[in-house]
């Protein structure tokens, strides 16, 4: 069984969990104000206003704008300034971690998420993103499960998303029966959102495959692809589908 699964396991890092990718703590009115200031500064060819007067929330809001424009290093600088001005603000640390992850610095991202969890152990964003990186990299999996389970106790509204990440993490740890149960719960309780359901079905299919339930696995991948998710996710599903089919159902 292990030999049969090796080709599939080799490409599993392509498959990620749900995580809060954009910065959190967005205040729409402040963002609009900041954008007007930035645009005016560009038109007038003058320097941006002295950011010493910015609050931590202002830095986070500007960081969100920059991150969404793909200016990751500039966004990171804003989040770090927010963290320096408000050491007790977990959201700033979460946002630092998110940008570091997007920059490929996953180990540094884990440090940032841990810092956020030290500030707020109940932070779902910090716990879920920490667990997602651990699942992707196959590190600190027991710690990640404990952290996420604790956060879920305080965030019932995020239960489906947490179950999806926890199920995938549990599968990565090799506990397929429990993983399958958790992922089935996530599918049943989760929102009808296509991206969530497609990813949950994909992870459920992979857990079933690891458990030797090939027909069930293929059915989950068929369902996931039929949902017509975004192209990057659809491509991953189709690739895994072909790989499974090629090795026999």
DSSP-assigned letter for residue 179: H
Neighbours of 75 (CB within 10 A): 27
Q: Are residues 193 and 80 in the same domain?
A: no
Whether residues 25 and 108 share a domain: the answer is: yes
Q: Is the dihedral of CA 15, 20, 23, 29 positive or negative?
A: positive
Asked whether residue 192 falls in the same domain as residue 106, the answer is no
Q: Is residue 143 included in any domain, yes or no?
A: no
Four-residue CA torsion sign, 107, 108, 110, 115: positive
Count of the separate structural domains present in the chain: 2
Write the CATH number for 45: 1.25.40.10
115 with 165, same domain? Answer: no
**Other C-beta atoms within 10 Å of 146: how many?**
13
For residue 4, is it within any domain? yes
Task: Name the token pair of 233.
Answer: 């996710």
20, part of any domain: yes
Are 110 and 11 in the same domain? yes
Q: Are residues 104 and 208 in the same domain?
A: no
Cβ neighbours of 49 (radius 10 Å): 13
Determine the straight-line distance between the first and last CA of the chain, rounded to whole angstroms: 14
Same domain for 111 and 25: yes
Domain coverage including residue 170: 155-249
End position of a domain, from candidates 101, 119, 137: 119
Please give the pLDDT value at position 16: 43
Q: Which residues contact 201 (CB under 8 A, 6 or more apart)?
A: 187, 220, 221, 223, 224, 227
Mapped onto helix, strand or coil, the DSSP state of residue 230 is coil
To 5 degrees, how large is the angle CA 76–CA 80–CA 83?
Answer: 140
162 and 223: one domain?
yes
- Pair of tokens at residue 227: 């949902």
Residue 6's pLDDT is 28
Q: What is the pLDDT of residue 52?
A: 72
Considering only CA atoms, which of 93, 171, 162 is closest in space to residue 138? 171
Counting Cα atoms < 13 Å in the Cβ hemisphere of 39 gives 7
106 with 198, same domain: the answer is no
Q: Which of 119, 147, 180 is the last residue of a domain?
A: 119
Reading the block at residue 175, the tokens are 């506990």
Q: Both 107 and 170 in a single domain?
A: no
Walking along the chain (249 residues) 10 residues at a time, the average pLDDT comes out as 31 43 57 59 51 86 91 94 95 96 97 97 95 93 95 94 95 96 97 96 96 96 96 94 76
> Distances from the Cα of 200 to the Cαs of 92, 194, 208, 209, 224, in angstroms?
28, 10, 12, 14, 8
């Amino acid at each position: 069984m292990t030999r049969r699964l090796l080709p599939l396991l080799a490409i599993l890092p392509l498959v990620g969990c749900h995580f809060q990718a954009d910065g959190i703590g967005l205040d729409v009115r402040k963002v609009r104000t900041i954008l007007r200031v930035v645009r005016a500064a560009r038109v007038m060819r003058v320097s941006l206003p002295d950011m010493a007067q910015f609050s931590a929330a202002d830095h986070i809001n500007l960081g969100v704008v920059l991150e969404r424009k793909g200016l990751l290093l500039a966004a990171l600088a804003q989040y770090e300034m927010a963290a320096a001005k408000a050491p007790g603000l977990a959201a700033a640390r979460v946002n630092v971690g998110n940008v570091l992850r997007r920059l490929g610095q996953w180990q540094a991202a884990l440090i940032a998420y841990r810092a956020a969890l030290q500030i707020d152990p109940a932070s779902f964003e910090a716990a879920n993103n920490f667990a997602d990186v651990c699942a992707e990299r196959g590190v600190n999996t027991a710690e990640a499960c404990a952290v996420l389970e604790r956060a879920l106790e305080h965030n019932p509204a995020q239960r489906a998303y947490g179950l999806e990440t926890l199920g995938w993490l549990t599968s990565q740890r090799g506990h397929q029966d429990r993983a399958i149960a958790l992922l089935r719960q996530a599918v049943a309780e989760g929102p009808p959102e296509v991206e969530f359901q497609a990813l949950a079905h994909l992870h459920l299919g992979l857990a079933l495959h690891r458990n030797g339930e090939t027909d069930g696995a293929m059915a989950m991948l068929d369902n996931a692809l039929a949902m017509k998710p975004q192209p990057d996710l659809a491509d991953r599903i189709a690739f895994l589908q072909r790989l499974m089919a090629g090795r026999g159902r």
